[in-house]
Structure 1
Amino acid sequence: MTDGANNVNENELKETTWDGFHNWLYCICVVTFDLELGQALESVFPRHVALSKQQISNICYLAFPDSNSGCMGDTTFIIRLQNSQGNKNLKEEHNSYNSKCPTSLQIDSSYLWGYVYFRQVKDVTLPRGYFQKSVVILSLLPFNNLFSKICSYIAPEYFENGEVSLEALCYNIEQWPPPVPGTTLNLPLLGSVFQTYIPLSNNHTSNSTLALLSEPGDNNQILTHVEDLNLFEILQPVLSHIHLLWELVIVSEPIVVMASSPTYCSSMVLALTRLISPLQYCGDYRPYFTIHDSEFKQFTSKVHGPPPVILGVTNPFFAKTLHHWPHTIRLSDDLGQSQRYKLKKTAPTKMVDNTPGVFTAYKPFLQKDKNIIKKIISGVNSKRPFEAQSALLRRHLLELTQSFMIPLERYIASLMPLQKSISPFKAAPTPQPFNPDNFFATLEAAGPQLTLNNTGIKGDWVGLYRKFFRSPNFKAWFNTRYTELTLKLQALQLEALSTADLKDWVQGRPEVEVVDMVLKIKNKIHKCNEHDIPVNERIKEQLNLRLSDIISSLPDDLKNILQVS
């Protein structure tokens, strides 16, 4: 048994507030197989965490491979499930974290992430002849690499030493510093220290920090990136269709990934959502999904059609249930390094066998870039390291996405009203509305084809944009950018107000109009203090001075009321 468990006594656990723990994790669950109930929740840590019946049901079914006959030994995979508590789980530390981290690592309070370690081994002492149990780490944070590593570290410890190790683990996590982007974090855990780094949103990761995370540390130090998907390793079988898949993901088409193991399907689903980085994928996605999920009927409905979601499944029953879905990736049992899947230009309804491949009738808007595919395939033949192959692929996809988004970024910046339309005495103007036709008119002079001429990617960019505009990816991106423009305009209006001569403005004004201005300025100062409007401290100080200027011009009775309110 590790020293960590021995350092925790019962009184310490009772007195713990668990605030530090919940900065990182929601809870840790142990799911076992009960002969009468099937999958059942055996215990939850820390003990005070209460889960709803629906949460327990979803966690229990997602904690075991859907058809586990072939999953002997230990199996690890990632799940994502709806969070019925929503914003109730968000702490001040989480909001601070979200404001600083990259969009791909932001917390979405509507969902919980789960990191599963499932063990199935023969055990003649048990009635069923098998030991079947899972340890599940649940968190709001999408730290897929870090938490998967931690789960793989703690689960064997639990299987060997029982609940005392998980109690010690909870107490260790309670002592961790909050997750702060831009800092190297040392996280003690059962006698070891996980060292990790959360990147900042501007991606200006210092070289010294990267070097620190790549240097060998002490024997008990484990260097771990929060997320480290090897895109090439996961996507290699579908590499020749990577541009088709990029299109399907950027326009939020429904995709189902079928595999024999939740390890394979969950990795592929996560890799697909990263194809369009740095644009955030805003459709729903479930790295591993079962027929027992509470949303099964919603996702399989033939009446409303498939929603914009990427599902990873293992149960063969889904081949029939989801046959109306337009796009299917069927993975082989062995993700060999040399195999590459064929594209079956047919709807999944026409699938007659279980051969691996990409099944779709989708006609891409863009041509594929054959040069990058040849370059990566030649790297396979020359045994180029996976990390280098992954970096090549990631850089190409990044350039493709950026080329697609830059014309949109330029156009939305043009929706900003002119500076002369901003008046200190009027409400801040709003950005001009988005007009697709006006945007298309900019493409000839500033379209993506100009930056991609050398790559060989040509095609119907306007058609692709039109489809993109109907997707949740566009809606989320546009809402974020439009809000940023609106707040910028409000900030500029406040800046103008902070330097205005309000002593002169109040002369001859009706009292009701002056009081209205006082209340408006107070409301704006409050919004600034709540960080809703991006202005600096100097502007806030000047606004308070302008407020004093106005109030001092009013009769004493009104002055006293407004100074108190």
Structure 2
Amino acid sequence: MISFKYCMDEPVPSEHHPWERFRQWIHSICVVNFDLELGQTIEVIYPGDAQLSSIEKSNICYLSFPDSNSSCTGDTGYFFRVKRSEESLTDAQWHLSEAVPVAMQPEPGFYFGFVHFRQMKDPTLPRGYFQKSLVLLTVLPLFGLFSHVIEAISYGFFDLGEASIETACQHIDQWPLPRPGETLSLPLLGAVIQCRIPSRNDVPQKPISLDFPHITSSLSQTVVVSPVVHEVNFYESIKCVISHIHLLWELVLLGDPVVVMATTPSQCTNLVQSLISMIWPLKYCNDYRPFFTIHDSDFSEITSKHASPNMIIGVTNPFFSKTLQHWPHILRIGDVSTGQTAIAEKLFKKNWDGKTLEWKPGFYSQYKSFLQPGNSLMKKLLKVGKRPDSVQNAILRRHFLELTQSFMIPLERYLSSLLPLKRHITPFKAVPQIKTFVLEDFLSTLEQTGPALTSSIKGDWEGLYKRFFKSMNFDGWLKQRLKDMEDQLKATHLEVLCTADLNSDSLSTRHQVEIVDLVLKLKDRIMDLNGKPEKRSKLQEQLKNLLTSVDDELKSVLLSNCSLREAFEI
């Protein structure tokens, strides 16, 4: 939940290095201008010491303006995703990555750019138009939050000039660290944004009650801006493709190449991001570009006719109709102003030969879906007359969450069966290994524990799984889950080490080799436990008990080890 509360008080300065807090949230804010002779150029970057490579600057310049679209008169807001020259995160961002849902993790190799573009008629300028953009660069995928932040800063900038950007940067530098699960108050240009970043421990789709501190102000008006910090308006973005939404869910799940062709960058970016989020809480692990231009440094690689990369991109330039006609799935969206984005099944699906792409809005693909979901979702959305977007949004989110969970639960259940039993974890043995994931073994479990237990949707679930196993989404999920399980095993083993009964009686049946090995295990874990003083103290106590229970000769040999003495001194 995000809300703006107007507040006349300035943020109270805190003790930290200049721009230290700012950089936990944002890399920089750029002013991009259109010059008749030079084209798009970055006029200024805040803070002044923010570093961008020449390739990054070039990409940002072109992505900050609508591509070959002069109809965006007035203000236009959208966002893009672009490669970084260096892959890095701050310590706070790494901590955030461990604490948020996997699908929300910061991406060290990419920037998200939040753009506020203004184009106005101005007869005093050579081309008769004023064109300028304000761009916020960050590694944090907080689309709802930063879309509002760049909008607020832009209105101040276009009215008052660069002083408003400087003030905004100073305010952001007073923000608390981005901690998931906490209610955050973020002062910005006379307002306080109050929000909560989701935590990995949250129950998906369960409403969160936010306890905001009371702010005393002469202006008590509160304006709710967005339901969540990490989402765009899902229903508003996706309703234009409702008739093919389950098929699109399959394509996103499988990581198939999809290009979205829209008339405006706002429509384009919101739809691409909504497609990516349909498989929440599963992380989309392929590359994707919500807004892509012909000037991008990856243009040749992405548009090569030899192959279509497994990614989702959004474009507005009609040039891509020819350049990307070899892509297997093309989603062409009509102009919002023509009413073609209303809920309807008018957006047809057409099989085509990959050579002649029509200009009409439609979904061009030869893909045959594995599942047959029926019309239950459409009936539910159209059951009552016009409803608020928030209600329709909740229906759609719940539907796709349940569909994704029905698909993933059998995988989670099978993976859990690969974990060693807790009774096999003992202090005298190393952390046990997780069994290997075997595709055939998993498929053999589907009849008894497959999606039919939790979903009414029929179809070739086994075929869908077989395709899924070849995707980056499966690879990314498996690597993350194996890491989580290994961490779980290490935590369980640590707990066993801390609570094991290590007295003379329990050690009497053990060989000296086992005792020495246990001493070394305790020593190694003590040395590794940075930031966990309670666990370290328990292990040190266990080590003392162990040394007390062995004979003097063995104790003397063990204590002659320098690193063992260090374990007691930490």
> Is TM more than 0.5 here?
yes
Residue 315 of structure 1: how far off its partner (Å) = 1.1
Tell me: CA distance 1:561–1:373, structure 2 relative to 1, closer, same or farther (3 Å): closer
Distance apart, 1:340 and its partner CA: 3.9
1:558 is aligned to 2:560:
yes
Once residues 528 and 317 of structure 2 are traced to their aligned partners in structure 1, the CA distance between those partners, rounded to angstroms, is 51
Query: In 2, are the aligned partners of 1:114 and 1:139 still within 8 Å (CA)?
Result: yes
CA distance in 2, matches of 1:386, 1:561: 63
- Whole-angstrom distance in 2 between the partners of 1:116 and 1:321: 26
Output the CA distance in 2 between the equivalents of 1:318 and 1:361: 19
Residues 74 and 120 of structure 1 are in contact (CA less than 8 Å); yes or no, is this contact kept in structure 2? yes
- How far apart are residue 221 of structure 1 and its match? 5.1
Residue 181 of structure 1 corresponds to which residue in structure 2?
180
Could you tell me which residue of structure 1 aligns to residue 551 of structure 2?
none
Q: Which residue of 2 aligns with 1:342?
A: 347
- Superposition map of 1:36-55 within 5 A: 36-55=37-56
Q: Counterparts in 2 of 1:124-203, with a 5 A limit?
A: 124-203=123-202
The answer as to whether partners of 2:350 and 2:362 remain within 8 angstroms in 1 is: no
Matched residue type, 2:332: R
Give 1:417's aligned residue: 420
Partner residue in 2 for 1:260: 263
Structure 1 residue 481: deviation in Å? 1.3
Which residue of the partner structure matches residue 465 of structure 1? 465
TM-superposed CA distance for 1:316, in Å, is 1.2
Q: How many matched pairs? A: 542
- 1:276 corresponds in structure 2 to 279
| Deviation digits for residues 71-114 of structure 1 (CA, Å, limit 9, x no counterpart) | 11111111111122212xx2222223223322333212221111
Distance, in Å, in 1 between the alignment partners of 2:250 and 2:218 is 42
In 1, are the aligned partners of 2:330 and 2:365 still within 8 Å (CA)?
yes
1: CA distance between counterparts of 2:9 and 2:95?
Answer: 34
- After TM superposition, give the deviation of residue 559 of structure 1 in Å: 4.7
Aligned to 1:392: 395
Residue 105 (structure 1) aligns with: 104
**Residue 232 of structure 1 contacts residue 393 of structure 1 at CA under 8 Å; is this kept in 2?**
yes
2:400 aligned partner, one-letter code:
L
Q: Secondary structure of the equivalent of 1:69?
A: coil
SS for the counterpart of 2:251 is helix
Amino acid at match of 2:526: I
Change (3 A) 1:369 1:190: same
* Aligned amino acid, residue 538 of structure 2: Q
Post-superposition Cα deviations, 1:489-519, rounded to whole Å, max 9, x if no partner, equal 2333333333153864798737xx8766544
Do 2:64 and 2:115's aligned partners in 1 also have CA atoms closer than 8 Å? Answer: yes
Q: Which amino acid aligns with 2:253?
A: I
- Hey, what does 1:430 align to over in structure 2? 433
The residue aligned with 2:374 is 369
- 1:358 corresponds to: 363
Aligned to 2:333: 331
Where does 1:508-519 land on structure 2 (aligned, <5 Å)? 509=512, 518-519=519-520
CA shift digits 1:522-541 (9 cap, x unpaired): 3323444368xxxxx66543
Residues 59/97 of structure 1: CA separation in 2 closer, same or farther (3 Å cut) = same
Cα separation, partners in 2 of 1:473 and 1:212, compared to 1, 3 Å = farther
Alignment match, 1:23: 24
In the aligned structure 2, how far is the partner of 1:126 from the partner of 1:354?
34
Distance in 2 of aligned mates of 1:339 and 1:508: 75
Could you tell me how far 1:301 is from its partner in structure 2? 2.1
Return closer, same or farther for 1:343/1:505 CA change in 2, 3 Å cut-off: farther
Instruction: Tell me, yes or no, if structure 1 residue 286 matches structure 2 residue 286.
Output: no
Is 1:314 matched up with 2:313?
no
Q: Distance in 1 between matches of 2:563 and 2:425?
A: 31
Aligned residue number for residue 541 of structure 1 = 537
Query: Any conservation in 2 of the 1:256–1:313 contact (CA below 8 Å)?
Result: yes
Report the CA distance shift for 1:212/1:248 in structure 2 as closer, same or farther (over 3 A). farther
Q: Cα deviation per residue 1:165-205 (whole Å; 9 max; x = unaligned)?
A: 11111111111111222222222111222222222223257
Quick one: structure 1 residues 438 and 505, their matched pair in 2 at CA, closer, same or farther if it must change by over 3 Å? same
SS in 2 for 1:86: coil
CA deviation after TM superposition for structure 1 residue 416, in Å: 1.1
Q: Quick one: distance in 1 between partners of 2:212 and 2:377?
A: 29
What is the rounded CA distance, in whole Å, between the counterparts of 1:124 and 1:177 in structure 2? 45
Query: Structure 2 vs 1, CA of residues 410 and 501 (structure 1 numbering), >3 Å: closer, same or farther?
Result: same
2: CA distance, partners of 1:371 / 1:217 = 50
Matches within 5 A, 1:466-485: 466-485=466-485
2:8–2:191 Cα contact (<8 Å) kept: no
| Corresponding residue SS for 2:556 | coil
2:447 is the counterpart of 1:444: yes
In 1, are the aligned partners of 2:326 and 2:355 still within 8 Å (CA)? no
Task: Report the TM-score, using the length of structure 2 for normalisation.
Answer: 0.88
TM-superposed deviation, 1:446:
1.1
Distance in structure 2 (CA, Å) of the matches to 1:507 and 1:250? 52
SS at match of 1:554: helix
TM-score of the two chains, using structure 1 as the length reference? 0.88
Does structure 1 retain, via aligned residues, the 8 Å contact 2:254–2:473? Answer: yes
Structure of greater relative contact order (alpha carbons < 8 Å, 6+ residues apart)? 2
How far does residue 345 in structure 1 lie from its aligned partner after superposition?
Answer: 3.3
Equivalent pair of 1:193/1:221 in contact (CA under 8 Å): no
**Matched residue, 1:534:** none
State the shift of 1:557 in Å: 7.1
8 Å contact kept, 1:192–1:222: no
In structure 2, the gaps of 5 or more residues are: 1-5, 549-554
Residues 564 and 153 of structure 1, relative CA distance in 2, 3 Å threshold: closer
Asked whether the 8 Å contact 1:323–1:348 carries over to 2, the reply is no
State how far apart, in whole Å, the 1-side matches of 2:565 and 2:271 are: 60
- Looking at secondary structure, tell me which structure has more helix per residue: 1
Residue 34 of structure 1 contacts residue 40 of structure 1 at CA under 8 Å; is this kept in 2? yes
The one-letter code of the counterpart of 2:75 is D
Name the SS of the counterpart of 1:136 in structure 2: strand
**Equivalent position SS for 1:278:** coil
- In structure 1, stretches of 5+ residues that fail to align are 532-536
Closer, same or farther: CA 410–378 of 1 in aligned 2, 3 Å: same
Q: Secondary structure at the match of 2:256?
A: coil
Q: Distance in 2 between matches of 1:163 and 1:371?
A: 52
